[in-house]
Chain A
Amino acid sequence: MHKKWPSVGKATVGVALVTVVFCLTRIERPSARRPAGYPQLVSIQDLRMSPDWCPPAAPAVPEDSNLFSAFGNSSVYAGSPQSGETGIITRPPIRTIRDKDPIYSAVAVDTRFDEVILMDNNMWGLRVFNRLDNTEPDAPFTDPKRIISGPETDIQFNNGLYIDPHNGDIYSVETDTGDKVVVFPRDAKGNIKPARILATPHRGFALAVDEDKQELFVGVQYPPEVAVYRKEASGNEKPLRSLQGESTRLSDVHGIAIDPKNKLLYAANWGHVSDYRIAGTGRFEDPSISAYPLNAEGDAAPLRVIQGPKTQMNWPAQMTIDPDTGDLYVANDMGHSVLVFKGTDQGNVAPRRVIKGNRTGLANPSGVFVDSKNKELWVSNFGNSSAEVFPLNADGNVAPLRTIRSAPLNKVSLKFGKVEALAYDEGRDQVWVPN
């Protein structure tokens, strides 16, 4: 039979517990522990059952006397097949590596409303600014007019952007998990559902529209393809046609552009080639730009290809055409440059112009847009939370006319791109984060 505790004893235990909690807060933390921003039990000590007792200000408790060591090799939390229980670790992370500023993968201009839309690939959203916004060097950033972002928007890992020149509709293509194009009205903001969703092949990376024929082109990274839909397509509607196959020389497509005047389609290829069904077909080629008739389909060969070391291409990303001149602008990601070719160029040719250098502010540019109404070239940077505008005839190491910056000057973006894996190098005490 259990002996009942006298009421005085209960009170003593109660006071003692309160005292323990109070005293624990005064124990100096072991030097090996890290500030975590939340309460932590750091030690187990013998407790004298006197409410007046409190340990003096003690030296740091050595790590080997902490709670976990006190329980020996089997953790206090550890479950086992025998117990059928699982130790649940609920403590929050002690560190987080995350870029809290946007990273701009694409840019487009709504010339009717003088607005610039920047695609944020870091926090997955769309940010709308006034076209003439300019972040002064001493300003920390420029606030957007509107932001479209949040789980309802279905925007994730977004890389391709198109703005309808007639009604301002915003098209965004998703590259990895979503497999879709989402469409928003021009004035959309906040965490809202898209007005329209179109299911597309896996790894859609670029968008373009033939407004004459009302066709939506979706550039697909791999297996490489350009799928063409009705512009107003939605749901699971099938493409009108598709360009894909070995003869097309499409490879790891990261950008497409349309020249409606000359009825041409251009694709930017990274040169990673294989037929995934046949072993041994994999190979590395130089990056390229391939040109096709606008109505090309099936395994059609390109009309011509720009490819070779003279081109300076290194991860060519989004492209845009100046309809008045036929100049083809290429965001050259790893070259930190914008390359300008003629749409009629072919083979191993040097660009007609190269915008590059320390005055340009370009850092891993991945988006370009020609604003032919205002004779301006917009470039979005993956590497520094900014977009810049240049004169359409810019060449060399030139400063931009204006910059829209969403982070402090000279900030280098983390450039995380949907981080999926890690590897630890113990010798250097460094962690690899592939993207």
Chain B
Amino acid sequence: MHGFSYDPIHDEIVVNSPLTQAILTFRGSVNGEEAPIRVIQGPKTQILGMGYAALSTVTADPAHNEIFLPIGSGGYRGAGTGGPEGVLVFDRMGNGDVAPKRMLAGPDTQIRNSTPQVAVDPIHNLLVVKSNGLLIFDRTAEGNTKPLRIIRGPKTGGFGGGQITVYAEKGLILTNSMDGWAVWSINDDGDVAPRWRIPVKQITGGGQNSGIAVIPKHKEIMIASALQNRVLTFYFPELFD
């Protein structure tokens, strides 16, 4: 599981199950072995599998009652799914074999990745897709739509393969970089350097820092470091002030 989502409005957690082509929703207070309250699964969902990669994250947009599921080719190691690379959007209350509300995919989207990652900014109505850069779309984009902006190029310092999140209150995108974590504005466009960078590898000696959570209450960010099996908390007041 490379990403899942907490929905603070409805107190639910949303998890994808790549091996069964499903999206599961649990109560936010879930503990132990408890059945999901909703399962999206079946042929109408158009959810392909993960193959050797892909389909490893999911993101809820509780403000608009939607669930975003990035889909990739899965061709990371070996044969891919042969399916599209893009984003499926489901109704949050969808249950059973339901079709997606919309699908964002096609050559103009520039989503070309075996394992794309997404984040939603419900305040500024944006969808950010990490796929060879940061592709910024209108939140409701569908079909073969061009991104509004693209953050890509040598000045970015490159992107790692892990989680991506948006701190919508400040309009900031947080994603892992080649050496740790980096922050861009949702208004950035083109080959631009990040606003901030946390070179986690340099600071802690660890690598593959792939997960992130923003903790406004404490002006902190938490970073999951897969290769060290640890979670680091950084005091990061600049992000919130």
Contacts and interface: CB of A to CB of B under 8 A. Distances in A.
A281 interface: yes
Contact of A424 (B83, B182, B215): B215
Contacts of B101: none
A273 B20 contact: yes
B217 A78 contact: no
Interface in A14-45: 34, 36
B196 A425 contact: no
Given A77-B196, A88-B196, A424 B213 contact: yes
Interface in B167-202: 182, 188, 192-199, 202
Interface of A, secondary structure class, is loop
Contact of B33 (A68, A96, A156, A334): A334
B45 to A, nearest CB: 7
A137 interface: no
B67 interface: no
A95 interface: yes
Given A202-B77, A427-B11, A279 B45 contact: yes
A421 interface: yes
A280 B22 CA distance: 9
B13 A179 contact: no
By secondary structure, the B interface counts as mixed
A89 B213 contact: no
Interface residues of A, number: 74
In this complex, which of B20, B83, B227 has the most chain A Cβ atoms within 10 angstroms of its Cβ? B20
Given A77-B196, A86-B193, A282-B21, A423 B4 contact: yes
Contacts, number: 229
Given A68-B237, A283-B41, A435-B1, A416 B230 contact: yes
B232 A96 contact: yes
B227 A274 contact: no
Interface string A406-431: 00000000101111111111111101
B20 A78 contact: no
B212 interface: yes
Taking each of A99, A281, A282, which has the highest tally of chain B beta carbons within 10 Å of its own beta carbon?
A282
Nearest to B203: A92
Contacts of B231: 96-98, 419, 422, 431, 433
Given A96-B232, A420-B224, A433-B224, A84 B155 contact: yes
Contacts of B213: 422-424, 431
Given A274-B20, A416-B230, A432 B163 contact: no
A91 B48 CA distance: 42
B41 A98 contact: no
A279 B3 CA distance: 21
B232 A421 contact: no
Nearest to B161: A420
Interface in B206-232: 208, 210-217, 220, 222-232
B229 A99 contact: yes
B226 A90 contact: no
A429 B28 CA distance: 12
Contacts of B4: 421, 423, 432, 434
User: Considering the complex of A and B, which 3 residue pairs feature the smallest CB-CB distances, nearest first?
Assistant: A276-B49, A280-B43, A282-B21
Interface of A: 34, 36, 68-69, 73, 75-81, 84-99, 122-123, 156, 177, 179, 201-202, 222-223, 251-252, 272-284, 314, 334, 414, 416-429, 431-435
16 contacts: A79-B195, A86-B197, A201-B78, A202-B77, A276-B49, A277-B82, A278-B49, A280-B43, A281-B49, A282-B17, A420-B2, A421-B224, A422-B211, A423-B4, A426-B216, A427-B11
Given A96-B230, A98-B229, A177-B208, 19 more contacts: A86-B195, A88-B198, A89-B236, A94-B235, A99-B229, A122-B229, A223-B52, A274-B20, A275-B49, A277-B49, A279-B83, A282-B20, A420-B210, A422-B231, A424-B214, A425-B6, A427-B8, A434-B4, A435-B1
Interface of B: 1-6, 8, 11, 13, 15, 17, 19-22, 28, 33, 41-52, 57, 74, 76-78, 81-83, 97, 155, 162-163, 182, 188, 192-199, 202-204, 208, 210-217, 220, 222-238, 241
